Chain A
Amino acid sequence: MERSTLQAINAARAARRAAVVVTDLADGASQVFPEGAKFPPEWDSVIVEALRSGRAGVTAVEGRSLFINVHLPPPRIVAIGAVHISQALAGLAAVAGFDMTIIDPRTAFATTERFGNVGLLAEWPEDVLSSRPLDRYTALAALTHDPKIDDYPIRAALEAGCFYVGALGSRKTHATRVERLTQAGVPAEAISRIKAPIGLDIRAASPAEIAVAVLAEIIEALRRRDPAGRAGGAR
């Protein structure tokens, strides 16, 4: 592989663009095709299928043995709320291979002293998400309990087809959230995709344990998602 090919793969990954790498196993020649690029007609169907399924493999095209590798954007977690659970979740997410961003307009919470090197934005979600939109490779965990902060990103995540949308709060809190979202015109089918109370039911009690439960639920949503890339968690 040429070094420029490696650089192109990493550039696509850094930009959160899906990319397919086609390697001719006979002569080792490889090429990178970012999502949305023009594909050679003879390879078009295998590249499109690889992007759709996310599956890598060896295939034969016109008598040539090709290895098709797919690099989908690394899954990302966006947490709303620079709260105690987010502090624990940030550490766990890094180990499990997720990029993580924490958004909280409350500057008392969003401090580097509490979060170190994690991507932390002390701004309103409305402002952050307009320049850094959510996508279907992103999990959103709304953790502030505060409708003024949580509701907007929850709606944005449902619209963007995030593979996971979870919201902290008791059943009662969630019931009032459902009412607000319904009144705001969010379809019932979309609202039903919100995981609440958040996290797998492992009887988590401490903030760190709740973070484990949330991360486990995010991993489940990622691994069970429709390979065609429709809204996450769809069965």
Chain B
Amino acid sequence: MSTEPNVLDPLEIAETWCSDGRKVALATVIETWGSAPRPVGSHLVIDEEGNFQGSVSGGCVEGAVIAEAMDIIASGTSRILEFGVADETAWRVGLSCGGRIRVYVERIDG
């Protein structure tokens, strides 16, 4: 086993970032409808500076999730975010593939 965390493994990254003293949030796809780029259970890990690894979509909504995650790192209150088709919810980011996803974002504490 190498000591470097695998950059393709968000949970390993999350643990390493925590031990480095960084504040960390974990985003998880909890539900999908229609065509969704990443399956339920997929993770994105974010730190308080907005660094991230992993994915919850094909790059469509990560920006919004990262912004929310930075708030959640500050407040400690978990939230469920929902993203739909881009043109139905033009006031916010969406998925161009036509699917809908729900993403649970929580802070890693302790």
Interface residues of A (CB under 8 A from B): 1-4, 6-7, 9-10, 13-14, 23, 25, 28, 55-58, 67, 69-70, 97, 117
Measured between beta carbons, the chain A residues less than 8 angstroms from B104 are 23, 25, 67
Compute how far the CA of A69 lies from the CA of B109 in the bound complex, rounded to whole angstroms.
Answer: 19
Question: Does the CB pair B41–A3 fall under 8 Å?
Answer: no
Query: When A1-B109, A4-B110 are in contact, do A10 and B11 touch as well, CB less than 8 Å?
Result: yes
Compute how far the CA of A4 lies from the CA of B18 in the bound complex, rounded to whole angstroms.
Answer: 11
Main secondary structure of the interface of B (DSSP, over half): mixed
Does chain A have a CB within 8 A of B80? Answer: yes
Question: Does the CB pair A3–B110 fall under 8 Å?
Answer: yes
What would 5 A/B residue contacts be, using CB atoms closer than 8 Å?
A: A23-B106, A25-B80, A28-B78, A56-B39, A69-B28
Question: Does the CB pair B40–A6 fall under 8 Å?
Answer: no
Query: When A1-B106, A28-B106, A117-B2 are in contact, do A70 and B41 touch as well, CB less than 8 Å?
Result: yes
Does chain A have a CB within 8 A of B26? Answer: yes
Measured between beta carbons, the chain B residues less than 8 angstroms from A13 are 11
Compute how far the CA of A35 lies from the CA of B1 in the bound complex, rounded to whole angstroms.
Answer: 23
Question: Does the CB pair A6–B31 fall under 8 Å?
Answer: no
Does chain A have a CB within 8 A of B8? Answer: yes
Interface residues of B in 1-52 (CB under 8 A from A): 1-2, 8, 11-12, 14-15, 18, 26, 28, 30-31, 39-41
Query: When A7-B15, A25-B104, A67-B30 are in contact, do A2 and B110 touch as well, CB less than 8 Å?
Result: yes
Interface residues of B (CB under 8 A from A): 1-2, 8, 11-12, 14-15, 18, 26, 28, 30-31, 39-41, 78, 80, 102, 104, 106-110
Measured between beta carbons, the chain B residues less than 8 angstroms from A55 are 40
Measured between beta carbons, the chain A residues less than 8 angstroms from B11 are 6, 9-10, 13
CB distance from B106 to the nearest CB of A (A): 5
Compute how far the CA of A1 lies from the CA of B18 in the bound complex, rounded to whole angstroms.
Answer: 12
Measured between beta carbons, the chain A residues less than 8 angstroms from B31 are 57-58
Compute how far the CA of A96 lies from the CA of B80 in the bound complex, rounded to whole angstroms.
Answer: 30
Of B18, B41, B78, the contact of A56 (CB 8 Å cutoff): B41
CB distance from A2 to the nearest CB of B (A): 5
Sample of 4 further A-B pairs with CB below 8 A, known A2-B109, A25-B104: A1-B26, A2-B108, A3-B18, A69-B41
Compute how far the CA of A58 lies from the CA of B30 in the bound complex, rounded to whole angstroms.
Answer: 6
Measured between beta carbons, the chain A residues less than 8 angstroms from B41 are 56, 69-70
